[in-house]
Structure 1
Amino acid sequence: MILLTSGGLLPLRGSEPALSGEAAERCAEKIREMERFTREKESGKSLSTPFTEEEINSYLQLVLKPRYHPSLRSLQVRFEQDRLQARAVIDFDRLRTSSTGLFRNLLAYMFSGTRILDADGRLHTGNGRGRYELEQARFDGRVLPSGLVNEIIAAVGMRQTPPFNPTEPSTLPYGIERVDIEPGRLVAHQ
């Protein structure tokens, strides 16, 4: 399995990310701690919470997957220095049936079935806001224009609960001020 980097293809460590119930629970506990900190935050105090790829991927797959819109079959991430790589398996037939207007017609014309979207970019965060800047994308191994891929990412994101568009600036959850991405982990700063 591969994800992209700005210089070309980068193999993932192993064919599938490590997943475990224990890692998913560690992630969930860290999120609960961040929620508590947000509710009880004292003036001048801050909290930095590290998350590993294993924790995030386990949480995405074992906890959040049942909540995904049916068009998003799976999602996994990889962290490099200041970079966020993601692989999404998207069911375009299900996405198309929940879309409207011109985008629905475009999806029907261009895509069907289940496809793999690999994305490489940067997560820009600061002052409690964040957005994902797509730099490269491959769709079933073929390079696609970033504009089209941003539309696909937005369409899938807007079908989630709650709806969101990761390519547009938005308020970060849990009072997070910024996120630092390092090889194998990210750190959320409240």
Structure 2
Amino acid sequence: MAELATDYARLLGPDHPDTLRARHDHACNLGEAGEYVEAARLFAEVAADQARVLGADHSGTLQSRHNHAWSLGQAGEHAEAARLFAEVAADQARVLGADHSDTLQSRQSHAWSLGQAGEHAEAAGLMAEVAADRARVLGADHPDTLRARHSHACNLGQAGGHVEAARLFAEAAADRARVLGADHPDTLQSRNNHAYYLGKW
């Protein structure tokens, strides 16, 4: 993909949308290969160029900014990832709407990154809001809703709310068993976390 991006730049010019897309895809491939630091660097560069050429509110620009934050988080830069997710989520809400799937994903990634950075109380509050919005937009049984509920309970427990976390994990486990199946890995994860926090009482 790097060679393709180079060829596009040579034939069409560095600012052509196809060149920018090829650069974005190259960074995606690096991220999927686990090269998160390099992917983050490339996403930051292509996002800046997309903003200059296509506009700050273009969907491609917003996507590259989201992926930049994601790659930083995967590389362990959780606090910076959280900051960038908050910024892109705000812009996505303004451009795409508060209920757009990209906006909801960036909000969930923001909360998740805060939790990874150790800000569990704030992450729990934000994840509860995301879970409620996921349920309203996608439905209570959607896997993304269930995932947000599980993450809310995780951060609540890590913030010291062991009793409430155990209750939420029990509810999430029951709903995941009903929707995904009793043996689904997500169901087992919620059941395991429920048992863990029961032992904290």
Structure 1 length as normaliser, TM-score? 0.28
Larger radius of gyration: 2
The answer to which structure has the higher strand fraction is: 1
Q: Higher relative contact order by CA 8 Å / sep ≥ 6: 1 or 2?
A: 1
